Amino acid sequence: MLQAFANIFKIRDLRNKVLFTLAMLAVYRIGFWIPIPGVSQSQLADFFSKQTGEGSAFGSLASFMSVFSGGSFQHSTIFGLGIMPYITAGIIFQLLAAAYEPLKKLQQEGPSGRQKVMEWTRYATVGLCIIQSFGWLTVITRQGGIVYQNWATNPLWWVMAITAMTAGTIFLMWLGEQIDKFGIGNGVSLIITAGILSHMPMAFKWVVENSPLKGIGLFQWLYGISGAGENKLSWMAILILLASFVFVTAGAIVMTVAQRRIPVQQAKHTRGRKVFGGQRSYLPLRVNHGGVMPIIFASSLMIFPTVIFSYFKTALASTQWKGLEGVFTFLSDAFQNHGQFPYLICYVALIFFFSYFWTTVQFNPEDMSKQLRDHGSFIPGLRPGPRTQEYLETVMERITYVGAGFLSVIAVIPMVVTDAMGVDFMVSQFLGGTGLLIVVSVGLDFIQRIEANLLMRNYAGFLSSNDEGSGPRIRGPRSL
């Protein structure tokens, strides 16, 4: 392992790419703390903490967007929106391409068509930034004390704040593209991962302050805390958290790279006296084909029941339908506390629904069967055409069920741990959920790219069992 790290800095091209990537991520973290003028950061942090502690829909939405976007609404900075508008615009055009035939044909034209779609995505990102920044500034200006009164009534402040937040997101988009071009790894994904991992020191601090670890002198010096106070976590609870983190992360890695390999036979072609083709290969179908998208869609929609039930609970209290007030009070409390059974059932059902929905959008068995037939390949025992299409569709439905179950377990673990052990959600989110899946998938992609650069230059990589690089220690995608 240490030799692999040393090999990275022996290769000039790879060393420059890694250092450039780290430098761009450092620029992102520095810009993350540049505030928008006219906003009281202390008042905003108190308001955000209060909303999150009460389990309100606004607090849930802000926490969710902060994890996924790489930004943070708790600090109203120029990077407050993060990269979320750009990702949203990309998802919108991806869904439109599946439903709108002219856009689909444009993407199939090659690099020129994809470049045109990317240009439209950037324009849509600017529009979404303006809308989201205006909405966010409207929310905080209605809360007394967050925005200075003389600033909130000035139209020039609104123009300046919206322009700053929009420019911040566009700069992050450009930063991600520079990492793609001159660095190593997916730039946008690395920015999101850096935002997620930035919460880890605060999560570890919470564990130290609420466990016997605060009695250790090193942690007292590091975090500036005292050993006094009641411990919410015992030594056994700390060991359980540590073991859970290791096993859940290992399971996420296994399921992220898991594949269902379908054997494919290439037809033989005779040209003159020579015979070409006849090779056997496989068609890899990912078990978790939807990635993190089903959890994102499900988390977004689960915010609306909380708002709706809370509204009806308040509205029915002053009407003749007071008998229904108890029902909506129960539902409102159940959906505000994410660890309750009704919330978990609806959440899991939405994850399964969006897993199949996203797979249907992304995976087209008809096109895949046509491509196999056009390239002279076939699945042994199946006729090319409708029979192959039916088989691929059946296999994809079965493995999507397994992938959806895995996503459900990953998404529910943080809520169960928070409700059962009294652990802060800032800590339990590293035991599963959207953040863990993003970090695992991006980390695997980053390591594999470095590994490819090392092996291409005949250096031993991270996945080699010895210095000569003979035999992989950690294999690639697993077959299920």
Query: Has residue 56 got a pLDDT over 60?
Result: no
- Max mean pLDDT among 32-46, 159-173, 240-254, 269-283 falls in 159-173
333 domain-assigned: yes
**Residue range 215-238: mean pLDDT, rounded:** 77
Compute φ and ψ for 373, nearest 5 degrees.
-65, -40
Q: Which domain holds residue 259?
A: 240-440+472-479
The beta-carbon contacts of 141-146 under 8 Å, at least 24 apart in sequence, are 143/43, 143/47, 145/40, 145/43, 146/39, 146/40, 146/43, 146/44, 146/47
> Which letter does DSSP use for residue 210 in this model?
T
Residue 166 lies in a domain: yes
Give the pLDDT of residue 72. Answer: 59
How does residue 22 score in pLDDT terms, banded at 50, 70 and 90? very high
pLDDT for 278:
67
217 and 327 assigned to the same domain:
no
Of the residues 172, 198, 224, the one at which a domain ends = 198
Q: Are residues 258 and 403 in the same domain?
A: yes
**Average pLDDT rounded to a whole number, residues 58-82:** 65
Confidence band, pLDDT 50/70/90 cuts, at residue 464: low
364, 397: one domain: yes
**Residue 292 and residue 218 share a domain:** no
Residue 453 domain-assigned? no
Best-predicted range by mean pLDDT (34-38, 122-126, 215-219): 122-126
Give whichever of 89-103, 110-124, 314-328 has the largest mean pLDDT: 110-124
* 80 in Cβ contact with 41 (< 8 Å): no
pLDDT at 478: 47
Segment 362-381 shows an average pLDDT of 84
Please provide residue 260's backbone torsions phi and psi, each rounded to the nearest 5 degrees.
-105, 110
For residue 402, being part of any structural domain is answered with yes
Q: Classify burial at 59, counting beta carbons within 10 Å of its beta carbon; exposed 0-12, middle 13-18, buried 19 or more.
A: buried
The verdict on 436 and 346 lying in the same domain is yes
Per-residue pLDDT at 400: 92
| pLDDT for res 467 | 44
Q: Which two tokens stand for residue 352?
A: 């399964």
Helix (H, G, I), strand (E, B) or coil at 378: strand
| Mean pLDDT of all residues belonging to the chain | 80
Are 191 and 224 within one domain? no
The reported pLDDT for the residue numbered 193 is 86
Question: 126 and 91 in one domain?
Answer: yes
Phi, psi of 347, rounded to the nearest 5 degrees: -65, -45
For residue 458, is it within any domain? no
Please report, for residues 127, 152, 158, 261, the alpha-carbon distance to residue 155 in angstroms, rounded to integers and kept in the order given.
19, 8, 5, 59
Q: Summarize the confidence of residues 443-453 as an average pLDDT.
A: 85
Residue 469: pLDDT band (50, 70, 90) is very low
Statement: residue 471 has pLDDT above 60? no
- Range of weakest confidence among 12-21, 238-247, 317-326, 370-379: 317-326
330-361 pLDDT tens trace: 777 777 766 678 888 888 999 999 899 888 88
Query: Which percentage of the chain shows pLDDT scores above 90?
Result: 13
User: Is the domain of 298 the same as that of 430?
Assistant: yes
Residues 260 and 175 in one domain: no
Give the contacts of 137 (CB within 8 A, at least 6 positions apart).
Answer: 147, 158, 161, 162
Q: Are 238 and 213 in contact (CB under 8 A)?
A: yes
pLDDT of the residue at 280: 82
Angle between helices 341-362 and 325-336 (to 10 degrees): 60
Domain membership of residue 449 (yes or no) is no
What is the model's pLDDT at position 53?
54
The conformation of residue 275, written as its DSSP 8-state character, comes to E
Residues 229-237, mean pLDDT to the nearest whole number = 80
Number of domains comprising the chain: 3
- Answer whether residue 167 shows pLDDT above 90: yes
**What mean pLDDT comes out for the span 411-436?**
79
Does one domain contain both 293 and 379?
yes
The pLDDT tens digits for 406-422 are 889 888 888 888 877 77
Condensed to tens digits (0 to 9), the pLDDT of residues 120-149 reads 999 999 999 999 888 888 888 887 778 887
| 448: in domain | no
**Portion of the chain with pLDDT greater than 70, in percent:** 84
Mean pLDDT computed over 373-396: 87
Q: What single string gives the DSSP state of each residue in 385-416?
A: THHHHHHHHHHHHHHHHHHHHHHHHHHHHHHH
| 447 occurs within a structural domain | no
What's the half-sphere exposure (Cβ side, CA atoms, 13 Å) at 122?
13
The predicted structure's pLDDT at residue 38 = 84
**99-103, 225-229, 410-414: segment of lowest average pLDDT:** 225-229
Confidence band (pLDDT; 50, 70, 90) for 24?
Answer: very high
Q: Mean pLDDT over residues 216-240, rounded?
A: 78
Query: Do 165 and 221 sit in the same domain of this protein?
Result: no
138: number of Cβ within 10 Å:
10
Of 191 and 467, the one with more pLDDT: 191
Q: Please list, in sequence order, all residues whose beta carbon lies within 8 angstroms of the beta carbon of residue 39, skipping any fewer than 6 positions away.
A: 76, 140, 146, 147, 148, 161
Whether residues 68 and 190 fall in one domain: yes
Q: What is the CATH number of the domain that holds 320?
A: 1.10.3370.10
Residue 465: is its pLDDT beyond 60?
no
Q: Is 116 or 231 the better-scoring residue by pLDDT? A: 116
Most confident segment among 172-176, 213-217, 444-448: 172-176
User: Mean pLDDT over residues 296-325, rounded?
Assistant: 72
Q: Residue 452 pLDDT > 60, yes or no? A: yes
